[in-house]
Amino acid sequence: MKALVTGGAGFIGSHLVDSLVARGYSVHIVDNLSSGKGEYLNPSATFHELDISSRDAHRLIISEKPEYIFHLAAQADVSRSTACPLADMQSNLAGTINLLDACRYTPVKNFVFSSTSAVYGNAHSELIDESHPPSPISFYGLSKLTAEHYIKLYHDTFKIPYTILRYGNVYGPRQTSKGEGGVIAVFLEKLKKQEPLKINGDGLQTRDYIYVQDVVEANIAASLKEKHMTLQVSTGEKTSILQIIDLLKKYHKDEFHSFHASDRPGDIKHSCLDNTLSKQELGWKPDYSFAKGMKETYLSHSL
């Protein structure tokens, strides 16, 4: 089986490539290394240093004819999307359309798209399911939601099979201190430098944090089932910034300090995703509790 992974040198993408290679897939990676890292590239995969919005990426899909496309490459920094909405659109929307357009000329078994809980904005609900109306409050969330609409319309018009996966906040080894859901990586980087931890706002804002390997397994499960659906990849449990700090105090041997700063523009106050539909449709469930995933992540930083 042949798979193409965009963003395969990045945080989630590199873990996905590793798992696909371990399962015997022939894997092609498309990454421009703007945020991905060369050391994360699996040596058994074929690497193409390309931008997803380029004609070369379009031609690569047609020539290689992958059975599965996992589209993870994105501009995922909310602050950067606010500073430069045009660049955010170019990466997240134009790049997605370019890949979809290539699929018109070669059959694919599934186009699996990595989306985000940011499409919901400040949802006034304790637990968000897939029927909740999207209302993004960041340009990043808007670009992802618009890409979702293009995917659905390409399916309706050109019969391209797809599965859209809206992630909670993904964390784990290899995550950098930039991008969506990067607060855990930011905190660990600060601990390594023996610097205080900055808490944006009151620290009571919550997210649904999901470990990276659980996201990988959801992607693979989704690729093997032609669902033409939008599904949420999450734990269904909410965790606050203050709870993360309390957990880090249990793991870290040295005392550290934290301080409060102002809220970040475009940030969502609360986000927790219902994963019931994913469990039913994919036969998938998260294996990592937050405590277990956090310990794995902390140990990977050699603190």
Residue type, 88: D
Q: Tokens in use for 214?
A: 């659980």
Helical H segments across 23-172, by residue range = 55-64, 78-83, 85-89, 95-102, 139-158
Question: If you count them, how many residues does the chain have?
Answer: 303
Contact 53, 98 (CB under 8 A): yes
Which residues fall within 8 angstroms of residue 212, CB to CB, at 6 or more apart? 11, 12, 15, 170, 171, 172, 173, 174, 175
Residue 76 has what DSSP assignment? -
Q: How far is 139 from 178, CA to CA, in rounded Å?
A: 16
Residue 119 has what DSSP assignment? G
Q: How far is 179 from 114, CA to CA, in rounded Å?
A: 14
- In terms of phi and psi (left: phi > 0; alpha: psi -120 to 50; beta: otherwise), the region of 252 is beta
Q: Which positions are annotated as active-site residues?
A: 140
